Amino acid sequence: MGLSTKQLEKLLTLPLFKGLTQAEAAAFFEVANASSARSGAVLFKEDADGDSLVIVLSGEVQVTRRGVELARIGANSVLGEMSIVGPGEKRSASATALTDLDLLTVPARRVQELLKANNLAALKVVANVATVLRSRLAMINEKFVDSLGGKGKKREELADFGRILNSWDF
């Protein structure tokens, strides 16, 4: 799919695509599919195969996990970024259109092919995903520590959590 220069410029303002040149972005989005969804449509369900990165161009999406609302995201937001990190990822949440949507979808399989070919655009996007995940993990760590309070058994639970976070067995 060929995107206009204006569309590419807009996408390059999103944190996930930070640092890409227009030429790199054009190559990355070459296989993207434009689509729309009506209000109420389920974009994907929790635990489904993570087969694509979804960019919300317009509209609003509700993100839920186990029926609990995690977020409402709007235009110029990204869903499914974990699906491009590695094959076999499952969706961690469900996404439902709250309004009519315009979407851009990038197949995860294609991003994996680009990564295997050492494509600079794909490598930059995955590096940006790592940066976002680092920030999210730091925030989760803080909330976790705050919730434990650091006393008695909770201190032991915190130490166990620390060992898990420092494990590179995956």
pLDDT, one tens digit for every residue, the chain (170 residues)? 678 889 899 999 999 999 999 999 999 999 899 999 999 999 999 999 999 999 999 999 999 999 999 999 999 999 999 898 877 789 999 999 999 999 999 999 999 999 999 999 999 999 999 988 888 788 877 777 777 665 556 667 666 766 666 666 54
Helices 152-165 and 120-148, packing angle to 10 deg: 170
Half-sphere CA count of 73, side-chain side, radius 13 A: 17
The whole-model pTM stands at 0.81
Q: What is the Cα–Cα distance from 67 to 46, expressed in whole angstroms?
A: 10
Q: What is the pLDDT of residue 132?
A: 86
Region for 86 from its dihedrals, namely left if φ exceeds 0, alpha if ψ lies in -120 to 50, beta otherwise: beta
Q: What is the pLDDT of residue 108?
A: 94
